[in-house]
Structure 1
Amino acid sequence: MGTLTYATVGSNQLTAAKIFYDTLMAQVGLKPILEHPSGGRLYGRRGQPQFGVLGPFNGQPATVGNGSMFAFCLDSRAEVEAFHAKVLELGGTCEGAPGVRGPEWYFCYTRDLDGNKLCAYFMG
């Protein structure tokens, strides 16, 4: 059976995106592990990639995927709230404030500097 190992978003402003994601990924326990040839960066744990911000391989401008979203499972409601606050502090935008979305589901939705949709959640 296959396992999803990492996800990437594209950026047209890699210098700013790396500052944004260096700070945000540190908050969720991911560290820079590889400088990507596109000028981007991969983040992960124990040397294994889990998330990246890259310049598109085809050299065309990065665009936001309609319906695409990347979610980070966190350990508490407080961590979800901190994630949301950090995205806004770093210049991202709110797509749904932290709150209950179902029985014992606590989610927030945001967008990064390029408009990529990010979710943080806690279940329990």
Structure 2
Amino acid sequence: MGELAYCTVGSNDLPRAKAFYDALLCVVGLAPLFEHPSGGRVYGRDGAFSFAVLGPFDGLPASSGNGSMVAFRFDSRSEVEAFHDCAIALGGLSEGGPDARGPGWYFAYCRDLDGNKLCAYCVKP
């Protein structure tokens, strides 16, 4: 059976995007693993990669996908809040601050510097 292995987002300003993600992804325990040939950076944990910010392969400008989103799962509401707060402090935009979205569901949404939508959530009864 397959499973989700990794996700990528594009950027038109890779130095700025890498600085944003270097600071934000440490909140979820991801660290830079290596530089990507596009000028981007690949992030992961324990030698396995799970996220990357890249220059698009086709050489066309990067754009955020309407309806596309990358979600990060946390164990507590305070971790969700810390991720959202960090993204906003780094210049990201809130798309819905931390709040209960259903029974035991706690979610927060933001956009990175290129408009890519990110989600932080935890589900606790």
Fold match by TM threshold 0.5: yes
Counterpart of 2:34 in structure 1 is 34
Q: CA deviation at 1:38?
A: 0.4
**In the aligned structure 1, how far is the partner of 2:46 from the partner of 2:5?**
13
SS at match of 2:113: coil
SS at match of 1:65: coil
Q: CA deviation at 1:27?
A: 0.9
Query: Does 2:79 match 1:84?
Result: no
Deviation string, structure 1 residues 47-92 (Cα, Å, up to 9, x no partner): 1111110000000000111110000001110010011110110000
Matched-pair identity in %: 65
Instruction: Map residues 32-71 of structure 1 onto 2, 5 A cutoff.
Output: 32-71=32-71
Instruction: State the one-letter code of the partner of 1:113.
Output: L
SS at match of 2:100: strand
Counterpart of 1:100 in structure 2 is 100
Q: Could you tell me the TM-score, scaled by structure 2's length?
A: 0.98
Q: Which runs of 5+ in 1 are unaligned?
A: none
**In the aligned structure 2, how far is the partner of 1:62 from the partner of 1:8?**
11
SS at match of 2:101: strand
SS at match of 1:109: strand
Instruction: State the one-letter code of the partner of 1:110.
Output: C
Counterpart of 1:114 in structure 2 is 114
**In the aligned structure 2, how far is the partner of 1:74 from the partner of 1:23?**
17
Deviation string, structure 1 residues 84-105 (Cα, Å, up to 9, x no partner): 1101100000000100001100
**In the aligned structure 1, how far is the partner of 2:111 from the partner of 2:31?**
20
Query: Does 2:86 match 1:123?
Result: no
* Superposition CA RMSD, Å: 0.5
Instruction: Map residues 13-24 of structure 1 onto 2, 5 A cutoff.
Output: 13-24=13-24
Moved over 3 A (4+): none
